[in-house]
Amino acid sequence: MNLEQFRQEAHGLVDWMVAYLSTIERRPVRSPATPGSIAAQLPAAAPEGPEPFEAIFRDFERIVMPGMTHWQHPRFFAYFPANSSPPSVLAEMLTATLAAQCMLWQTSPAASEMEGRVLDWLRQMLGLDAGLAGVIQDSASSATLCAVLVARERATGWQANEAGLGACPPLAVYTSDQAHSSVEKAVRIAGLGRSALRLVPSDERFAMRADALAGMIEADLRAGVKPACVVATLGATGTGGIDPLAAIGRLCRAHDIYLHVDAAWAGSALLLPETRWMIDGIEQADSFVTNPHKWLRTNFDCSVHYVRRPDELVRTLSVMPAYLTGPGTGQAVDYRDWGIPLGRRFRALKLWFVIRSYGISGLQAMLRDHIAWTRELAAWIEATPGFELVSPPVLGLLSFRCRPSGLDAEGLDALNRRLVERINDDGRIYLTQNIVRGRFALRFSIGQATTERRHVEEGWAVVRELAEQVVRTRNV
């Protein structure tokens, strides 16, 4: 493809993008594809010679599009949102065109310096203290892995990297029973073994019980196990649980334990001063992660990872003697040893486009709407006979179930399982499920950037309509 053809095709694609986004509501949210149906339409081997773009694009529409789930659909209420926005897409077009590897300052000074600046903007926007320096990771999972690795090194006097874990005392990592699976994955990858992971019980609001954490730390100390790390969650994936940071932080300081805060989803809400109670005690945390690619209009991937001691992160991950000694606030740095991969995309650009395009106030308005509509939805659920909340509204998340009379626990689980399948096959909305304290529940997550109040109303109407059908036919 020469540049003239590129110009033509690119203009055509922009028209396609606008048509797609402006009519997305007419599509079923979740792809109706069955397993293997897309692969069956793709040739088993690559073409010998070049094919015209026209043919490739025809197959994109014919084969690929029916196999897509539409995450930017305004009635996408599943998982957590994966936000995007026109300015973010425009920045991604530039990033792809520049196609730079931004691992060192000198491999693209602008990428490095903008990352530092934009992450300091975001730090202030989120109400995080000035002792934290930021870096963009591909995902919250990577940030949490980095945290567990630094904690491991700190707890072993930097010996695990040198001599291997065989030469070190057994370590323990604590997180709530509501925490994301990425914590267990990090513990396993770090070589600590899943048996090093302690799941701390949560209370009736799904928040980690600090008294239970204290008990588990004491028990480990008595048994000769070294407490290395606590991963606190702000906004647990299933239930929205918000761990008590101040109490957890005090325990961590008392026992010299590394404290990482996983706010992958809920962290964006810190843009709102009224939610900042969540980070009461953040000065005690060693690191913090949140994903603008979830709830801040920024395309995947963009996970922001703040650390109090960049020198420790670099010392853990660098394969050369540490050459980064301070947080270097406001200065350019080489980010190559702030994460697992060496190569880095220019991801700060889209965050810069997004923050400037919407301003703090525009982003706050979106978050406030989503939170208000989630509270409204909770009120509708509570006011509807035959339904109940299973976990209360937290920011943009709640879970609920259909509860007609005359069914035992197993019957209710089976009915709600059928309901979520019925809803997602229907296609007007998309919800996912969870097991909360042994009960099958439907999660309703409001956070898509284009969702309006009417979409939430429509979503609730679809749930009621299909629940009625499922209840009516349950004995058929």
Ligand X SMILES: *Cc1c(COP(=O)(O)O)cnc(C)c1O
Which residues make up the interface to ligand X (CB under 6 A)?
80, 139-141, 180, 182, 233, 235, 237, 262, 264-265, 291, 303
Q: Shortest distance, CB of residue 269 to ligand X, whole angstroms? A: 12
Q: How far is the CB of 241 from ligand X (least distance, A)?
A: 10
Q: Token pair for residue 117? A: 């600046």
Residue type, 453: R
Cβ proximity to ligand X: between 72 and 303 the closer is 303
Q: Which of 236, 252, 226, 250 is nearest to 202 (CA)?
A: 236
**Which stretches within 127-175 are classed as H helix?**
140-155, 159-163
Distance between CA 472 and CA 93 in Å, rounded? 50
Beta strands (DSSP E) in 41-180 are: 133-137, 171-176
264 vs 371, beta carbon nearer ligand X: 264
Question: Quick one: 28 or 235, whose CB is closer to ligand X?
Answer: 235
Q: CB of 394: closest distance to ligand X in angstroms?
A: 12
| Of residues 140, 73, 86, the one with CA closest to residue 291 | 140
295 or 346: CB nearest ligand X: 295
Do the bridges between strand 439-445 and strand 397-402 make them parallel or antiparallel, or are there none, so unpaired? antiparallel
Q: Alpha-carbon Rg of the chain, whole angstroms? A: 24
| Residue nearer to ligand X on the CB measure, 244 or 327 | 244
In whole angstroms, how close is the CB of 86 to ligand X at the nearest point?
23
Contact 462, 428 (CB under 8 A): yes
Q: How far is the CB of 307 from ligand X (least distance, A)?
A: 17
CA-CA distance, 55 to 375, in Å (whole number)? 48
Q: For residue 387, give Cα distances in angstroms to 111, 407, 442, 467.
A: 50, 13, 11, 10
Find the shortest distance in angstroms from Cβ 344 to ligand X.
Answer: 16
Measured in degrees and rounded to the nearest 5, phi and psi for residue 223 equal -90, 5
In the bound state with ligand X, the residue whose beta carbon lies nearer, of 297 and 418, is: 297
Nearer to ligand X among residue 265 and residue 460 (C-beta): 265
Within 13 Å and on the Cβ side, how many CA atoms surround 367? 26
Neighbouring C-beta atoms of residue 215, cutoff 10 Å: 13
